[in-house]
Amino acid sequence: MSEKSKYVGVLGCGTMGVGIAIVSARAGFNTIVIDTQQSALDQAAAFADKFFAKSVKKGKMSAQQKDEIMGEKLTWSMNYDALDKCSFVIEAVFEDLEVKQKVFSQANESCPKETIFATNTSTLSITSIAAGSGRPEQVIGMHFCLPAQVMKLVEVTRGLQTSDDTFNRTVEFGETLGQVLVNTKERPGFILNHFIVAFNNDCIRAYENGLASVEDIDKAVKHGLGYPMGPFELLDYIGMDTQLRVSLALFNQIHDHSFYPPPLVKRMVDAGFLGRKTGRGFYKYGESGMFGT
């Protein structure tokens, strides 16, 4: 591994961004996290420190390893020029085509010409995102499974212009991160969201129609289907605003009613009941913040 290849950039430090940054830094990469708000960077850094502290407590790493990651491997910045050594840049901003194109366009001005741009999009076209990047042959999809710092799965997706070299380098990079990779076609929702978004919407409709309580639906899914989290626990984790945005993005492409968000989703968003990050969703939490408690 060359010295330059040891640098990874992450654009955006929300739920997905900080998780991806943890994965990258834990694998030994010097990881630069970029965001437009210092408060968001501070919150993400605090979450990463808390996560690694728990890893030390569980015996998964030493206190020295934690200090090295937080002190040397993770950098938090509002300046795109900090990406000037990165071999990979992973975009993890919210699901908006123009925003994703904009952050890649900004990164394009600061990154070396050989840098690969990976988008963590869960619903949008890789080809469309690449069109605004300035380097479409070097844009590829890397959709990490939520929560990225815990789950191993990554969906790798080529756009129409993605080069073979970009694909091969991305697979090698993903394996170095310690992730499990699956290759998907460029289709709305790829594998995971093609199933889970509609499933979560169906669970919300079942609750709206009085089939069972939130708690009992979660118990049934966990203990009957073997899921690690119930649908409402997962929705509180990802955020109802994200569920609304992703559902509409998929519905507008596929025109399948199962992807259209139930009325309760919009009402909860309007009420500010987004989940863990606001302290209340389908469940109540001790405090608001990136993930609540």
**Pick the catalytic residue: 24, 125, 133, 193?**
193
Quote the CA–CA distance of 26 and 214 in Å, as a whole number: 35
Known catalytic residue at 186:
no
Cα-based torsion angle of the residue sequence 285, 248, 158, 178 in order, rounded to the nearest 10 degrees:
10
The residue type found at 5 is S
**Pick the catalytic residue: 55, 108, 155, 200?**
155
* Long-range contacts from 134-140, C-beta under 8 angstroms, 24+ separation: 134/104, 134/105, 134/108, 134/109, 135/108, 136/161, 136/162, 137/161, 137/162, 137/163, 137/166, 138/114, 138/162, 138/163, 138/166, 139/104, 139/166, 140/116, 140/166, 140/167, 140/170
Known catalytic residue at 252:
no
Known catalytic residue at 143:
yes
Are residues 247 and 201 in contact, defined by beta-carbon separation less than 8 angstroms?
yes
The residue type found at 54 is K
Q: How far apart are the first and last CA of the chain?
A: 38
Quote the CA–CA distance of 188 and 104 in Å, as a whole number: 21
Q: Quote the DSSP letter at residue 83.
A: G
Give, in degrees to the nearest 5, the angle at Cα 117 between 113 and 122. 170
**Pick the catalytic residue: 91, 143, 201, 247?**
143
The residue type found at 4 is K
Known catalytic residue at 193:
yes
Burial 32-60 (b: 16+ CB within 10 A, else e): bbbbeeeebbebbbebbeebbeebeeeee
Residues 6+ apart with CB under 8 A from 283: 214, 232, 233, 236
**Pick the catalytic residue: 55, 110, 122, 200?**
122
| Catalytic center residues | 122, 143, 155, 193
